[in-house]
Structure 1
Amino acid sequence: MGSGSSEAVILLVEDNPGDVRLIEEAFTDGNIENTLNTVTDGQAALDFIYRRGTYEDAPRPDIVLLDLKLPKVNGEDVLHEIKHHPELDHVPVIVLTGMDEDLIESRDLDHDADEDAILEKPIDPGEFVSIIRSFEQFRLAVMRED
């Protein structure tokens, strides 16, 4: 097998410290190799993806975990920016939401939705790890084809 690093660079955009801790634990428990970068508001997320200010040397994320309810800049605006960024439009975005199913269904996810997956909070660790692994495998398969 390859000797290169298979670590995914993951950007977590989440303002709730408890949810951040749960996500970190899910990565550890699932033995997911990753570099987890955490920002706590929408403005910091935009600075990270555009490599501005303290994030000028930020790596390009392979996966973005995005809470929709964020201070400063809301998650939907961050999602839109990621999906319209020329170097990030292919990056999977997993939306973390506390919305109930009626609201999720009303978002019309099958029609030109920007997000690639939705995880409801509280996050089920098994489902979370499964979704992350599916994107990691996809990313690695794409890298091998290039």
Structure 2
Amino acid sequence: MEYKGYLALKFLNFDEAASREQRRLQLLELEKMKLTTYESSKLYKERVKKYHDKKLLKKDFQPGQPVLLFNSRLKLFHGKLKSKWSGPFTIKKVRPYGAVELCDPQSKDPERTWVVNGQSLKQYYGRAMERLNNVLYFKLE
């Protein structure tokens, strides 16, 4: 039984035209699979981009407007009572491509400004807010 399979394999190897044609068909099939993979990956990326772009909200900010800033680096305390939004801050200048220049109205230096992404801001509708400062002392041993 094995001997017949070996003869068939040997026969294919000796027939150059048949083995060349078989190899060409295998390469074409492999190329077709590669192209369909690229196409499906491209379609998936387009759908994910459309979904994420739909989730982004168009925010229109004006200079002088009070806003709250999302504090993404607040990882020290995990708790329900700790707010992730800090502020209110005042918009000094709106830059192109969603960048916003903020200033702190309660700061001692009114010229101190910084630039943040407009997606991390939300409009502040409340009244004046009293700020609380937390001081943490760590004992180093």
- Which structure is larger by alpha-carbon Rg, 1 or 2? 2
Q: Which has the higher contact order (CA 8 A, sep 6+)?
A: 1
TM-score (norm 1): 0.17
TM-score (norm 2): 0.18
